[in-house]
């Protein structure tokens, strides 16, 4: 989005070899320069924001008496006509016009004539693109936030359904302690809640208007930047024109929030992939988000989950790309910054797909709770409960209780039975202080029920957290049927 000149209608260099660059350049651009310089193939995505910002700018110029009222009305009317064209026919790609800004200005001149040249008074493409890009990222944040809220609703609804469903909890992918499936799903609710918080923080910081900063130093025209900021939904104008045209922190923060969210989605996708495999057998993914094999008819592949996992790498790559682009740029605008948009656009598209796919998988999957419970019972997941019982009921120091429990697990492994299937006599041979009361602590049901501390896996705690989440999401009456899932 190149030129750093504040161009008015009289500055467009009529009759020069390249009207956009003005009279300084006698020759047009080479074919290589034309191709490397043009951004219209990707920045045409900004057309709605460009139209809105141009209308706000024109209205301000008219209100300030900088352009005539008739010209102001003609410009705004022409922009509305162009918006209708773009909506139905798409944005034309004329590489000689470089970008969406000059494409729109050239079309405006075809609609209303010379008055179109007055639109660019008191602004530069530098503050124009900075404004348009902020508006686009703000819209992208709002869209992603809505998608993440739907994912949260799916997680909360399934957690409510499975507050009592027992599964193994893992550390190091080894069975650790029994937990409830509802508790497990609510862990991802919390991750997404933080993701939405990061997006909200990024949105609050980006919501300042660069419009009126011009090329880099502001403008000598008596503009009203507060008026354009308000018209575009910004909280205030930016305070420093140099910073305003060269800042891309808002894009980096958006990409960082996307990257963190993509990591969370990838972790959940990995678990679904594992759970859907035959050795686990915890879940049956919806057919609509799975594929088959070209040669093995028995296969049902978790392709959507795998692609969500894969997309996280591309989103993180988008963040890295823009960080490296920005790391060595002096103030103010440099043409390198034209490459700021492709990684942001790519990440936004990938995130929208990933969130939608993950929402569909959570809402539409069938959980094999019997298999989950059996896995929890087979993995000596209640060993910690035995140690806790020894501490609580027999007054044994935890380290000694840990040693006694290890001996009990070894014996159970040798006999090929669960801990609660060991004979009392066998347990008392390990330590005489164990009595029959211990069996009340060794079932997986007793284990999860006992963990009733705030934030724990006990069904009562899960339902308490579900109730809180429902209030946060405004879904007091939302049931599974509203997500297209049979209760």
| Tokens coding 319 | 């963040």
Listed in sequence order, the residues at least 6 apart from 314 whose beta carbon sits closer than 8 Å to its beta carbon are 346, 347, 350
Q: Is 293 among the catalytic positions?
A: yes
Asked whether the beta carbons of 332 and 239 are under 8 A apart, the reply is no
Catalytic residue among 10, 277, 293, 481: 293
Beta strand 283-284 with 366-367 is antiparallel
Look up tokens 């049901």; give the residue.
Answer: 445
Residue 184 among the catalytic residues = no
Q: Which of 172, 288, 453, 476 is catalytic?
A: 172
Cβ burial of 64 (10 Å; 0-12, 13-18, 19+) is middle
- DSSP assignments along 316-376, one per residue: HHHHHHHHHHHTTPPSS--GGGGGGHHHHHHHHHHHHHHHHHHHHHHHH-EE-HHHHHHHH
At a CB cut-off of 8 Å and minimum separation 6, what does 150 contact?
A: 355, 359
Q: What is the C-alpha to C-alpha distance for residues 257 and 198, in angstroms, rounded to an integer?
A: 6
Q: Which residues of 10-41 are buried (b: 16+ CB within 10 A; e: fewer)?
A: eebbeebebbbbeeeeeeebeeeeeeebbbbe
Active site positions, annotated: 172, 293
């Amino acid at each position: 989005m190149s030129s750093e000149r504040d161009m008015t209608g009289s500055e467009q260099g009529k009759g020069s070899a390249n009207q956009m660059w003005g009279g300084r350049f006698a020759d047009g651009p080479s074919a290589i320069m034309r191709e490397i310089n043009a951004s219209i193939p990707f920045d045409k995505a900004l057309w709605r924001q460009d139209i809105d910002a141009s209308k706000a700018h024109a209205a301000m110029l008219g209100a300030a008496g900088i352009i005539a009222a008739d010209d102001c009305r003609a410009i705004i009317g022409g922009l509305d006509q162009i918006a209708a064209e773009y909506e139905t026919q798409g944005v034309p790609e004329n590489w000689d016009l470089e970008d969406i800004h000059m494409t729109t200005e050239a079309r405006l001149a075809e609609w209303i004539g010379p008055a179109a040249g007055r639109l660019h008074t008191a602004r530069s493409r530098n503050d124009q693109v900075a404004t348009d890009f902020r508006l686009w990222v703000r819209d992208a944040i709002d869209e992603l936030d809505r998608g993440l809220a739907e994912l949260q609703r799916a997680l909360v609804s399934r957690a409510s359904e499975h507050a009592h469903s027992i599964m193994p909890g893992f550390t190091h992918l080894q069975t650790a302690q029994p937990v409830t499936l509802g508790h497990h799903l609510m862990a991802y609710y919390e991750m997404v809640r933080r993701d939405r918080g990061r997006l909200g923080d990024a949105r609050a910081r980006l919501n300042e208007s660069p419009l009126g900063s011009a090329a880099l130093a502001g403008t000598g025209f008596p503009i009203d930047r507060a008026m354009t900021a308000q018209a575009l939904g910004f909280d205030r104008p930016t305070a420093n024109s140099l910073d305003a045209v060269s800042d891309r922190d808002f894009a980096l923060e958006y990409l960082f929030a996307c990257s963190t969210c993509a990591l969370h989605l990838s972790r959940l996708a990995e678990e679904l992939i594992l759970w859907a495999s035959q050795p686990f057998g915890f879940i049956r993914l919806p057919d609509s988000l799975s594929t088959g094999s070209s040669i093995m008819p028995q296969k049902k592949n978790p392709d959507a989950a795998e692609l969500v996992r894969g997309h996280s790498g591309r989103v993180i790559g988008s963040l890295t790309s823009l960080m490296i682009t920005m790391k060595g740029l002096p103030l103010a605008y440099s043409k390198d910054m034209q490459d700021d948009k492709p990684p942001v656009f790519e990440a936004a598209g990938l995130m929208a797909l990933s969130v939608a796919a993950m929402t569909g998988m959570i809402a539409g999957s069938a959980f094999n709770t019997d298999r989950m419970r059996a896995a929890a019972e087979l993995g000596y997941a209640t060993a910690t409960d035995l140690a806790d019982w020894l501490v609580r009921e027999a007054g044994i120091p935890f380290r000694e209780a840990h040693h006694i429990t290890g001996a009990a697990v070894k014996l159970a492994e040798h006999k090929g039975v669960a801990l609660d299937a060991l004979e009392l006599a066998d347990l008392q041979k390990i330590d005489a202080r164990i009595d029959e009361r211990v069996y009340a602590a060794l079932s997986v049901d007793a284990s999860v029920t006992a963990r009733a501390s705030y934030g724990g896996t006990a069904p009562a705690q899960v339902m308490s957290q579900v109730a809180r989440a429902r209030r946060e999401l405004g879904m007091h009456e939302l049931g599974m049927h509203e997500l297209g899932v049979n209760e």
